[in-house]
Structure 1
Amino acid sequence: MASKIFMGNMPELMEKILSNLNNEVYTLYSCALVSRHWCKMSIPILWKDPFSFEQNTLFISKYFSSLDENEKLRLKESLRIYKINIEISETLFDYARFLKVLDLSHLGWRVTEWFFPEFVNVGIVCRTSLTTYIVNLLLKIFIESGANLHKLDLHFSDLFKIKPEIFCSLEQNEQFFSRLQYLSLGLISEFNTENAIKLLRILTKKATKINALKLNKRYTTYDQQSLKALIESQEQLRKFSLVGGDFSI
């Protein structure tokens, strides 16, 4: 059996074994180096939730390889204003399409950490501006890549604001939220209240297969009608959780 695994004759078994290494980043990287077959199975697992890993943030620049030349030029020029230089090289995979888990707060912080070493003396307004630009660019890449989210955590901070064109893309995209199974609605800042409500309304239309919904009690103070519509639109909801208590339905 061992020889069959190494020869790649048992892909389903290997995929299950590698999936159990979900949080073992370095082990998965080692597996990716064994053979081309193992690499093709390991990479999607490594890149399904990259923003939660405590690792070097240099991986973020790999997403930009899918941009067209004009977008790459604009990105480099925007970063160069703050004396940040990056190299955008071709990659073996379209990593963005492997994304399955997205936490907006993690995304914002990881993007900020990515340029923070050369950004320490720049004010909060500039940091917010650059973070907003990069986060929205990444969201655009994720949506257009054909990714299917399985888990989404909506925790809105003051680090960035989602631009109107992203909401427009989400409205037109039938795939990005179509397989969403878990949704967490966390704290949102006053700066992002409107964003949160817009996204909630899109999720009501595009994500009807959620089976677990986690809600921070303070979220209900923003738009109870949109929240009610989201819950009523669900076809497979099995667990509804409030911060401080669980309720199964």
Structure 2
Amino acid sequence: MASKTLKGDLPELMENILNNLNDDIHSLHSCTLVSRHWCKMSIPILWQEPFLVERKPLFISNYFSSLGEYEKFFLKRCGINEEFSKTIFNYARFLKVLNLWKFKCKVDDWIELFNPSHNDDDISSYHITNLLIKLLIESGAILHKFRLCFSESLEFKPEIFYSLEQNVQFFSQIQHLSLVLEDLNIESATTWLRTLAKNVTKIKTLKFHEEDYNGHIHHVNDMLPLIHSFIYIIKSQEQLRKFCLFEVRYITKFHGIISALESQKKLITRI
């Protein structure tokens, strides 16, 4: 059986073995060197969750290998003058886990590699973050786990939401969704939630976390559009099993949340 596995004659068994190495990046890297078949099976797993804290940001260059001339010119205007080598794989397509805050931090780290004069508030961070998220959305990737952080320091262009509308597969299979409210941009947060509400029905775990690092207090009425979208997300789920609230300030003020959870009481096993 061992020889058959090495040759790739038992692909399902091989896939299970490699999936068990999902948290061991170094072992997965080693697997890519065993054979062409092992490489072909290991790479998608290795790139399921690339935006990890411990991972060096240079991998982001692989995403930019297929950019058109306009996008390359755009990067140069942002101080990125690198020529990116063509890659064998479409790495963006393998993405399954995305934490938007880690994503933003890793993009800033990548920019600093090529443009040391960059700082986190630089306009180049805004443009390159949007360029990469659009590339991921349009790559054919299908997310399984998504952590969405609503923050003033994480802004998205209107074209991102248009791209999401045109590439509904990106959100269609999300099973674990975390929503984090920080120094909140209510308009952006509401747009994200409305987009999710239209396309996500397979969530099993839904988490909601309110934070307020800047001490800013929002008027309850300002939160209404966001809360209504959140209620719709709860009600529209077909497989919801777990619902979590952390440090909430606003959301519990709305009885509609309780009503939405009651509508899911036959499915939810843990709150």
* SS of aligned partner of 1:39: helix
| Residue in 1 that maps onto 2:63 | 63
**Does the 8 Å CA contact 1:149/1:177 hold for their aligned counterparts?**
yes
Q: How does 1:1-249 map to 2 (within 5 A)?
A: 1-75=1-75, 77-80=76-79, 84-117=80-113, 121-122=117-118, 124-126=120-122, 129-190=123-184, 192-217=185-210, 222=223, 223-243=226-246, 248=270
Pair 234,4 (structure 1): closer, same or farther in 2 beyond 3 Å: same
- Structure 2 CA distance for aligned equivalents of residues 115 and 230 of structure 1: 35
Q: TM-score, normalised by structure 2?
A: 0.83
- Structure 2 CA distance for aligned equivalents of residues 58 and 19 of structure 1: 24
Q: TM-score, normalised by structure 1?
A: 0.89
- Structure 1 CA distance for aligned equivalents of residues 136 and 230 of structure 2: 25
* SS of aligned partner of 1:183: strand
| Residue in 1 that maps onto 2:254 | none
| Paired AA for residue 96 in structure 2 | K
**Does the 8 Å CA contact 1:131/1:160 hold for their aligned counterparts?**
no
The CA RMSD measured in Å over matched residues stands at 2.3
**Does the 8 Å CA contact 1:131/1:159 hold for their aligned counterparts?**
no
- Structure 1 CA distance for aligned equivalents of residues 101 and 15 of structure 2: 30
How far is 1:242 from its partner? 1.2
**Does the 8 Å CA contact 1:108/1:159 hold for their aligned counterparts?**
no
Give 1 or 2 for the bigger CA radius of gyration: 2
Pair 206,67 (structure 1): closer, same or farther in 2 beyond 3 Å: same
Aligned length: 242
How far is 1:118 from its partner? 5.8
How far is 1:247 from its partner? 6.9
More helix by share: 1
Between the aligned residues of both structures, percent identity stands at 52
- Structure 2 CA distance for aligned equivalents of residues 232 and 208 of structure 1: 9
| Paired AA for residue 213 in structure 1 | L
TM-superposition CA deviations, 1:189-231 (whole Å, max 9, x none): 23x3211110101111111111110111469963221111111
Pair 29,205 (structure 1): closer, same or farther in 2 beyond 3 Å: same
How far is 1:155 from its partner? 1.4
For structure 1, the residue ranges without an aligned partner over 5 or more in a row are none
* SS of aligned partner of 2:232: helix
Pair 247,135 (structure 1): closer, same or farther in 2 beyond 3 Å: farther
- Structure 2 CA distance for aligned equivalents of residues 121 and 10 of structure 1: 51
Pair 53,25 (structure 1): closer, same or farther in 2 beyond 3 Å: farther
**Does the 8 Å CA contact 1:21/1:28 hold for their aligned counterparts?**
yes
| Paired AA for residue 145 in structure 2 | K
| Paired AA for residue 177 in structure 2 | L
| Paired AA for residue 201 in structure 1 | R
Pair 66,232 (structure 1): closer, same or farther in 2 beyond 3 Å: same
| Paired AA for residue 206 in structure 1 | N
